[in-house]
Amino acid sequence: MKNYLLTEEQIIALFNAAAEHYELYVPVNSENGQVFCWEKTARLDKMVPSNIQPTASIKKFFFPNSEPMFGFKKEKQEIELYQAAASVPRLVLGVHSCDLGSIKVLEALFKDTVDDELFREKRQNTVLVGISCSAKDWACFCSQLEINSRFSQDGDLFITPREEKYILSVTSAKGEDYVNKYLENGETVAGFTPANDLGEEETFTLDFPKIKEVMDSGFELPVWEKFARKCINCGICTFLCPTCHCFDVFDEARRERGARFRCYDSCMFPEFTRMAGGYNPRSAKAARLRQRYLHKYKYFVDNFNLIACSGCGRCIRHCPVNVDVRQNLNILQHSGSEGEDD
Ligand code: SF4
Ligand code: SF4
């Protein structure tokens, strides 16, 4: 892995150099200072901060809230299908390790299981620039998932602030191409050892193999009912989660033209599993919450050997009724074989 020691001016120049060819996205805070998101900018004028985790996750760049899959038009008796707009090259700055780590989960489905053209094109067209996280907040638990908030090789480039300068690590072939094209007079550094926050003292420890064991032990555990009591099925946790990927498909048409769209759906919505004949296997709130937990911490492990959670904490931070997945997992791991609290 090649590492460069760059000044802030050099870093800014590196990303502005490609502004003609790439859409540039940076994390910004909204006017009231409460909501953080990535926004398109024409030019970078200062280095992005390293303590911002945008409210919306990185998945919006590969799997947006709503997107056209293809268009259609009818002429006489013929139906013609045409491609949705092609994606443009993008460079996303300031991505934290939790979001970089979550992309593996989406890839297991949209790349390795099916070749999803919409996802693939956007993923290929996007350069991801990670940044070392300088301030975890009360809801973060990425290190419990063995994600190092200070460094990641899951993107294309990674920035680590070092005193008044920055270490730029090249973490993929795409990142290397970018640097070869746009970096001028970069000084490489030898022997850079990235910081590591794994093993730092945590106030709690989640034992994911143990949690899965309890989940494996039975489907009808009493804890699901208890966990579901507070939930109001708003779906915020699933929409903001970087690994949740359920979607619905619908057609919008006017006269002879239209498009097929896909948009986020949520397993927390009561109608999510309602079938055409009216039967709903998850009509109870507890059944829906159980599905979300089993999908993340059991089914995905069974199917892909991956936990579908990166510990980003968004579902905790933004739940309107304070459902905390960590507390629930902690109860699960300490529950007996019948899923009862010890
Ligand atoms: S954000 Fe909270 S209330 Fe809303 S669906 Fe998720 S757990 Fe339930
Ligand atoms: S389940 Fe919660 S903590 Fe885990 S990745 Fe999703 S939003 Fe983040």
| Dihedral sign (CA 8, 14, 17, 18) | negative
Instruction: Write the residue with the smallest CA distance to atom 4 of ligand 1.
Output: 234
Ligand 1 site, residue 319, Cβ cutoff 6 A = yes
**Amino acid identity for residue 118 in this structure:** L
Residue 76 pLDDT: 85
How far is ligand 1, taken at its centre, from the CA of residue 319, in Å?
Answer: 5
Ligand approaching nearest to the C-alpha of 240:
2
Give the residue-averaged pLDDT of 132-152. Answer: 93
Q: How far is the CA of 238 from the centre of ligand 1 (A)?
A: 8
State residue 23 phi and psi, 5-degree precision: -80, 135
CA of residue 223 to ligand 1 center, whole Å: 16
Cβ-defined contacts of 74-82 (< 8 Å, 24+): 74/256, 74/257, 75/256
- Ligand 2 centroid–CA 14 distance in Å is 32
CA of 240 relative to ligand 1 center, distance in Å: 11
- The pick from 325, 326, 328, 329 for probing ligand 2's pocket by mutation, whose C-beta has the most ligand atoms within 8 angstroms, reads 325
Taking CB atoms and a 6 Å cutoff, what residues make up the pocket around ligand 2? 102, 240-243, 296, 309-315, 325
pLDDT value at residue 202:
73
Round to whole Å and give the CA distance between 265 and 269: 8
Q: State the average pLDDT for the chain.
A: 92
Nearest ligand atom owner, CA of 244: 2
Residue nearest to atom 5 of ligand 2 (CA): 309
Q: Given this model, what pLDDT does residue 197 score?
A: 85
From the centroid of its chain, how far is CA 94?
A: 13
When pLDDT is averaged across residues 277-291 and rounded to a whole number, the result is: 94
What residue owns the CA closest to ligand 1's atom 2? 319
Residue bearing the CA closest to ligand 2, atom 8? 312
CA distance 121 to 86: 8
Report the pLDDT value the prediction gives residue 32, as an integer from 0 to 100. 61
The alpha carbon torsion through 52, 55, 59, 65 (nearest 10 deg) reads -150
Instruction: Say which residues have a Cβ less than 8 Å from residue 185's Cβ, sequence separation at least 6.
Output: 10
Ligand 2 centre distance from Cα of residue 220 (Å): 23
Sorted by sequence, the CB contacts under 8 Å of residue 152 that are 6+ apart come out as: 97, 100, 101, 130, 158, 171
Instruction: Please give the pLDDT value at position 33.
Output: 56
61 contacts 122 by C-beta, under 8 angstroms: yes
Q: If you average pLDDT over residues 242-246, what whole number do you get?
A: 97
Structure confidence by residue, pLDDT tens digits, 46-100:
888 888 789 999 999 999 999 999 999 988 889 899 887 778 999 999 999 999 9
What distance in angstroms lies between residue 228's CA and the mean position of ligand 2's atoms?
A: 17
pTM, full prediction: 0.93
In the chain, beta strands by DSSP E: 3-6, 23-29, 36-41, 66-75, 78-83, 90-95, 126-131, 157-162, 165-170, 187-188, 247-254, 257-264
Q: How far is CA 123 from CA 104, 175, 189, 235, 241, in A?
A: 12, 13, 29, 25, 18
Which atom of ligand 2 is found nearest the CA of 145? 4
Confirm or reject: Cβ of 6 under 6 Å from ligand 1: no
Q: Which atom of ligand 2 is nearest to the CA of 316?
A: 2
Residue 31 banded pLDDT, cuts 50, 70, 90: low
Answer for the pair 113, 46: CB distance below 8 angstroms, yes or no.
no
% of the chain beyond a pLDDT of 70: 96
Q: How far apart are CA 213 and CA 134, in angstroms?
A: 34
The DSSP result for 207-248, as a single string, is: -HHHHHHHHHH-S--THHHHHHTT-----HHHHH-SS---EE
Q: Are 120 and 110 in contact (CB under 8 A)?
A: yes
